[in-house]
Structure 1
Amino acid sequence: MEVAIPMLMGANMGTTMTNTIVSLGMARQKDVFRRAFAAATVHDFFNLLAVAILLPLELMFGLLDRLSGWLAGASAGGDGGIVSTVFTFIGDTISAVIEPLAALVVALVELPGLPDVVTGLVLIVLGISLILLVINKIGQLLKVLMVGRAKEVLHAAIGRGPVTGIASGAMVTMMVQSSSTTTSLAVPLAGSGAFSLKQIYPFTIGANIGTTITALIAAFAFTGIEGEKALQASFVHLLFNVLATLIIFGLPFLRPLPRIGATILADRSAERKMYAVVWTFGVFLVLPLLLIALTTWVF
């Protein structure tokens, strides 16, 4: 658990990169990009703040280790019940659709004699290009669809208030089992002006909580001592996101910080795109490598 807990925190941070990349696909339209990049990076700022608060508490007191251990001990031995069955079915259904298509793309790219590294790089470029293409198309469609009754329903689900927004983000993410998908779909909504940053902010935080259902479902596949440890790791992920939400949203002086940081960064990035590039590579590549190098050198 001492190794797993910081890794889970890092994974929680790393998953926000998808919606940040999606927002870069809107860089040609200044005002749209400003709104979209703010909606994407508010997730980054929230998770960075969550790690800054909870990692020291974990190192000093073992907060997540103790709480997750108690929960795992109390719930080990179950099979997940109807909740696990329902979400596993949804996940299997989605996989049945996308996995053959993904396998076909890989087969087309894997040419005889082509090194694995080159194949991997081609797939990365192709994947990112498809993400940007699809999300931009979704953004165009949302501008057309976000009228009348559809707009009222979506605003009732997401934009009514923080609690509703968090609950909606969690529910949608539990259905698709991917916070990246949920938050990436929220970016075009913000970019088009259909939702404000204040409304999208709780929705993305709810996605953080909803995505933990995947680990919980996976944990129920194990039994015995392995099952208890797997369950504990999944509870760490859940507790990290729930506690971060309670602390940051519960303390009035912390609640606006991610939104303020995202707004300032988006304003500057709209004027000079280099800020967005530096942020993306700095937070998701340079900072992790520096931390790895630092810990290797110190320890």
Structure 2
Amino acid sequence: MRRALLAILALLLLAGAAFLWLARPLRLEASEIAAEGSGDPVHGERLFWTGGCVSCHALAKSEGQAQLRLGGGAPLVTKFGTFHAPNISPDPADGIGGWTLADFANAMQRGVAPDGAALYPAFPYTSYARMTKSDVADLFAYLKTLPPVSGAAPPNDLSFPFNIRQGLGLWQRVFLDPAPVVALPADTPAQVLRGRYLVEGPGHCGECHTPRLLSGLGGLDEARWLSGAAAAEGEGKVPNITPSDAGLGDWSQSDIAYYLETGFTPDFDSVGGAMVEVQRNMAKLPAEDREAIAAYLKAVPAL
């Protein structure tokens, strides 16, 4: 009997060790990270607005220069609990001022904090994983030009079992994939390819517009890419933006680009809800990027 108990205990210890090994977050290889100090802050500003960093990391309803104070924004209240976006200003104590480019790249593209902790996918690193290493370096260079903001954001307030981070490493192994979502033919125009990169990568549009697997616990259901999803906060639905009758089927490419620039729909309605901030960010992009996004949205499968 004693031997049997010892054998069971040994198996449990082995299983626990195997779980911890499999659940550990995986970092980028050195070759997947640009050289320290190589980033271009001018181009980084373009990526800053593409990614909508202001929407989560600046105080709610900030305007003008206040948008560039990234000490943490409004809480994200979900059915799993409340998430607080961290301070990503260049403050050395409370922000990312003491981070290296490798620290930043691993957080952005692998969901791993500098101390090795796995990050919750409320931060859309599953999309940022598709960014080029040079773009990540450029964004980091731009963030370092912004004003330092003192004060750390509050900790997340999550219910059990979502407050246990150890399972996130396993989640990342299943759902973190840097490959493009939509396969495009070899002769696809460069504009559409650029749009795919912006939408699937830094723009992270799928994080809101695509339904999730396993009642919200899983990753994005890529078979229903951009077909609309339940809103992360409260009631409501994020709309279908595929070129189907249920989505943007009657919108032209020019209509979509114009909407991203001005906030006006083809029938003279105006942008509303959470999309207001997204549209304001997109309005700061060069026209060629908005047109590329529009071209891609007309090329994705209609669902």
TM-score range, shorter chain: under 0.3
Report the TM-score when normalising by structure 2. Answer: 0.25
Please identify which structure carries the higher helix content: 1
Q: Which one scores higher on RCO, CA 8 angstroms, separation ≥ 6?
A: 1
TM-score (norm 1): 0.25
